[in-house]
Amino acid sequence: MYRSIFALLLALLLGGCAVFADKECADAKWYELGYREGSDARNSRSYWQQVCGNFNITLDTAAYDRGYRDGVAQVYCTPDKIYAEGKAGRGFDAQLCGGRKDLQARHEAGLREYCTPQVAYAVGGRADKYEFERCGKAAAELRRSYDSGVAGVYCRPADAYRAGRNDEKFQLSLCPPNSESAYRTGLEVRSLIKSISEIDSDLYEQKRKRDDKNAKDDDKRHADNRVRDLERERRRLKEKLETLERVGRNY
């Protein structure tokens, strides 16, 4: 997590958000940062060195390294943490923990919880990444479960339609054509709702001009014509929207 945060920080800096980066570097608590990094066995010290160096702010490497070592020893290299890493399908840096066999056993126990058809199916249902390679010989069976989750849950047309309507990220490449059709329908519904909202705003303004007692007659007539055109277009879009929404309710 922290690696991605620092990568984003660097990207923001390069994009011109120098003031933000300057404050982050000036306010940094290096021991606490190192401790958090060590708790997840992720060292992002080089990011801070590169970013903060641009402001002539030097990372306190002694404090950072001390925090990192404490985070590794007190949090990362503990049975509960390593079990959780395995259960989440993440790897285990055994060398960082001195090759402790008890931790290796806890990691393997966590992986046994992760490498099950039920978990693979659930992860597939979210179309999230599944670490098949961590599951050894069971990978082929788990891939079938994962694919079933993708097809049976993630790619359901009703969910695809909802994702399109709500402008949510949806991986069409994973799904069959009927899911793509539902997603496109959802996108069109969203677009129609937006268009109708824009027409409503324009209608309000044109009616205000039409009913303005101080406006010129030509301006009033123009506004009145515009109101009729907008109302006609609104009815057309509304009918189309209602038709598509009925389709969406049937997915």
Residue 2: the pLDDT is: 44
In the three-class reduction of DSSP (H, G, I as helix; E, B as strand; rest coil), residue 116 is classed as coil
CA dist 163 and 153 (Å) reads 13
In a domain, 96, yes or no: no
In this predicted structure, what is the pLDDT of residue 19?
46
Is residue 106, in this structure, part of any structural domain at all? Answer: no
| 43 part of a folded domain | yes
In a domain, 89, yes or no: no
Query: 49, 76, 103 — which closes off a domain?
Result: 76
Q: Are residues 123 and 201 in the same domain?
A: no
Measured CA to CA in angstroms, residue 29 lies from 110, 228, 230 at distances of 33, 64, 59
Angstrom distance (rounded) from CA 120 to CA 176: 20
Q: Classify residue 230: in a domain, yes or no.
A: yes
Residue 9 lies in a domain: yes
- What pLDDT sits at residue 29? 85
Do 125 and 60 share a structural domain?
Answer: no
Regions of the chain with pLDDT less than 50: 1-19
What local confidence, expressed as pLDDT, does residue 33 receive?
87
Residue-level pLDDT at 89: 97
Instruction: Report pLDDT for 25.
Output: 77
Predicted pLDDT at 101: 94
Residue 127's domain spans which residues?
A: 115-154
**pTM assigned to the model:** 0.70
Cα torsion angle, 120, 125, 127, 128, sign: negative
Q: Which of residues 100, 125, 154 is at a domain's end?
A: 154
Q: Which residues contact 21 (CB under 8 A, 6 or more apart)?
A: 9, 12, 13, 51, 52, 54, 55
Number of domains the chain is built from? 3
pLDDT computed for residue 21 by the predictor: 58
- Say if CB 172 and CB 191 are below 8 A apart: no
- Whether residue 212 sits in one domain with residue 195: yes
